[in-house]
A and B are shown apart, each in its own frame.
Chain A
Amino acid sequence: MPELQLTVPADLAESQAVRSATREFFLAAGFDPKTAGRLVLVADELFMNAVKYGSQPGDSVAIAGWIQDGGVQFSVADFNRRNLTTDDFAAIIEHRKNNLNLHATSGRGIALILREWTDSHEFHAEPGKLSFSFFKKLDSAMQPATAMPKSDSAAGPVFALTGELDELSLAAQSGPIESALETSSTSSIMLDLTAVPFLNSSAIGRIVGWHVQLESRGGGLAIRGAQPEVYDILDLVGATSLMSISPLSS
């Protein structure tokens, strides 16, 4: 059973060694290379934050990972040199999450990638120790349906997508959308996301790609029925400034 126990100097120069060890651990745990790469980035961000904000010269950072409940539990702990309470830390995370400026990516980065690439995360602060941990399931296969156009309107055909959307599940539903895009007269499309509880960066990338394609024809892609979580992630990555996105009416 793979297990990781590392205590490394709180020094940014250790970052490459941390990434190397964590990559080896996530791969040994059974993640595919792409997922392992994402988790390495999460681990890197946590380590960097621990060094920059939770440590003094000469301190160390404790990194641990182990298999639990069909997934990996991973934690990074520092000496909490700013003496934060758990509430203080929660406020910092919330503030960063709401920073939508792409140029300040380093600020919102950790909040965004934790939310997108892990299944859950938590933190705990006490005098002398601040630990941040996340959990990632080993298997998160999803069953996609096929997108069906509901009706045509002045804004173009409406396609309703369902389920959690990632690269594979969106590809499985995108046949009718791709067919519509092949028709040069189609310049506008509406996506109805009422039945979509989550979408990841791959799905967003593909949707933005459709929008760009339609924009070149003088139209664009619009989204309606975005659930709060879905709207939030689209907003975080800046998609709301690119296209019309309407939240789900309550």
Chain B
Amino acid sequence: MTQLEISQNPKSQSGVDYLLIAIAGQIDESNLAELAAVADQLPESAQQFILFDIARLEFINSKVIGYLAGLHSQLDAAGKSMLFFAPNEQIRDILELVGMDTIIPLKNTETEALQAIRDGDL
């Protein structure tokens, strides 16, 4: 089974209340349900902004990208915004290839992500 760790942490920093979700490991069809179990609760979360720390995310395939695009639509409909930060080179590569970064903001650091929220760039 592909290894995956997901943690959630409500935070308030720089005047922004947000839910920080850190993902570590690899995601594919064999363990996508683990991510879905967490993500499916997000439209009802107390926070408007969902930040995904993907610094330790090692692998995703197109199935996962399709799921994340769907999650973005669900959150959008619920009045919430999501973004990713700190992708490694491989993850950035595939997100950019399929144009994912044009619908879900991709930032280098948590600080940049918070700045984008304050600037209204979501």
| Residues of chain A whose beta carbon lies under 8 Å from any beta carbon of chain B | 12-13, 15-16, 19, 33-34, 37-38, 40-41, 44-45, 48, 52, 102-110, 112-113, 116, 201-202, 204-205, 208, 237-239, 242
Contact = CB atoms under 8 A, between A and B. Distances in A.
Contacts of B66: 102-107, 109
A38 B93 contact: yes
B69 A103 contact: yes
Contacts of A52: 29
Question: Which of B29, B99, B102, B103 counts the most chain A CB atoms within 10 A?
Answer: B99
Contacts of A15: 2, 28-30
Contacts of A33: 89
Given A15-B2, A106-B66, 12 more contacts: A37-B89, A41-B61, A45-B61, A48-B28, A48-B61, A102-B69, A102-B99, A103-B69, A106-B65, A108-B62, A202-B96, A242-B102
Contacts of B63: 48, 105-106, 109
A44 B102 contact: no
Interface of B: 1-3, 26, 28-30, 59, 61-63, 65-66, 69-70, 73, 89-90, 93-94, 96-103
B114 to A, nearest CB: 19
B97 A113 contact: yes
Leading 3 A-B pairs by shortest Cβ distance: A109-B62, A201-B97, A37-B90
B29 A110 contact: no
Nearest to B3: A16
Given A16-B2, A34-B89, A45-B61, A105 B28 contact: no
Contact of B100 (A45, A102, A116, A204): A102
Given A19-B26, A45-B62, A242-B102, A201 B90 contact: no
A12 B102 contact: no
If over half of A's interface residues share one DSSP class (helix, strand or loop), that class is named, otherwise mixed; here it is helix
A107 to B, nearest CB: 8
A116 B99 CA distance: 13
Contacts of A201: 93, 96-97
B70 A237 contact: no
Contacts of A112: 97-98
Nearest to B88: A37
Nearest to A40: B59
A105 B62 contact: yes
Nearest to B103: A102
Nearest to B69: A103
24 contacts: A12-B28, A13-B1, A15-B30, A34-B93, A37-B89, A37-B90, A40-B59, A41-B90, A45-B62, A48-B29, A102-B103, A103-B66, A105-B63, A105-B98, A106-B61, A106-B63, A107-B66, A108-B62, A109-B62, A109-B65, A112-B98, A205-B96, A205-B101, A238-B99
A237 B93 CA distance: 13
